[in-house]
Amino acid sequence: MDGSSPDPAVVPIFIPPPEKRPNAFVRRWRSIGGGSLTLSIAIHAGLLALAGFVVFASQAFDKQVDFLPGGGTQQGAEASAELAHKVQMKRQQKLQKTMPKQRLVSTSINATLSLPEAPPDVLELPDIASMADGGKLGSGGFGIAGSGGGFGSGTGMGAMSGRTFKPLMMFGKELKDTRKMAVVMDVSRSMTKFLPLVTKELDKVAFGSPLVLYFGCGLMPPPKQLDDEINPVSSDKFRAFWQAWEGKTSLKLSAEERKNIRYDPAKPMPLEDIFNLMTNRRNTWFVEFNGITYASSALMSKEVMEADTIYWFADFMDKVDSDQMKLILKTLKKRKQKLYIHASREGRSFAQVRDELVIPSGGEVISPTAETAAPPKKKEKDKVAAQ
């Protein structure tokens, strides 16, 4: 040993490897704050995902169920009523959107109008429960014994299938199987006083129905040249007609003399109240005076051809002819019309008109009431007094 001290222990030194530098793109991205932007985008994306989940979950829980509580409970009844109300509101909204809000007007009684069809989803459908429970007693529809001319086998009168209408009544007499009626009125001087009463009854039963005025009630064969012109009472010719024939003009004037008759405003208007009543009524007509025995021109006029029933008010004192009544009856049957007669008195032609025209047409006689009965003539009064 040489006496020298030993060398201190050699301590190893760790030198870390050089750090890998990011590429140029990353260095550029970091230099402009890309790290913060990336973090912000990640946070917002997470918030959007959370919001979408919340919305989806709320819709799933709020989804309307397709069943209602039943068992006849109060809750079931309230829920059913609420559902029916909602369905009705939807139908009304659909109808308001789909149906055109237009007014259709026709100036012709023979016109044909095509109305837009309602969509199927706005039509009223029968209740299934009522069909199941009341099928045997259904009314006006799907029932076996339904009434009203609907889908069932019931019978009824009305202009629309499935609906019934009250029968028309004139002075308490039912006009059977009548939906439309027209009146022919004798306005000879002894009968005009009944005109307001008949008109009031007509408008009470079937307002605005055709009314044709004829001076007389005879049914004789007309001559080849007959003035049977029919005009509305709103025309100027009606003034001349009323002033002459409801006044004191001779009924024996010839056809040529009658053509020269004109309205004279300087002369009073006979029965002025009744005249004004007629001029203000729509759908009212008169036949030019051509004697008292050609009332067939009124009974077979086009103004009354649409009616199911013709109601004729007269005293039936004028002459009639069997052949002429056969011609009228043929026209009535062709038009499928019935003739009802209302006599203020049973004149000399009453029974013949009844037996040869009224009954064969399917019509009937309306008995006079206290208001519509003409007072007996002097001879008749004497006869009644003698009895």
What pLDDT score was predicted for residue 83?
74
Kindly report, residue by residue over 15-26, the tens digit of the pLDDT.
Answer: 666 666 667 777
pLDDT over 70 (residue 65): no
d(CA 111, CA 58): 59
DSSP string, 217-242: --B-PPPSS----EEETTSHHHHHHH
User: What predicted TM-score, i.e. pTM, was given to this entire model?
Assistant: 0.56
User: 182 φ, ψ to 5°?
Assistant: -140, 150
pLDDT band with cut points at 50, 70 and 90 for residue 162: very low
d(CA 359, CA 366): 12
pLDDT band with cut points at 50, 70 and 90 for residue 84: confident
User: Of 350, 381, 380, whose CA–CA distance to 367 is shortest?
Assistant: 350
User: 231 φ, ψ to 5°?
Assistant: -130, 155
DSSP state, 114? -
Burial 373-387 (b: 16+ CB within 10 A, else e): ebeeeeeeeeeeeee
What separation in angstroms does the CA of 195 have from each of 51, 169, 256, 313, 325? Answer: 84, 18, 29, 9, 25
Kindly report, residue by residue over 185-207, the tens digit of the pLDDT.
Answer: 999 999 999 999 999 999 999 99
Kindly report, residue by residue over 237-275, the tens digit of the pLDDT.
Answer: 999 999 999 999 999 999 889 989 999 999 999 999 999
- Among 167-171, 239-243, 307-311, 359-363, name the one with the lowest average pLDDT: 167-171
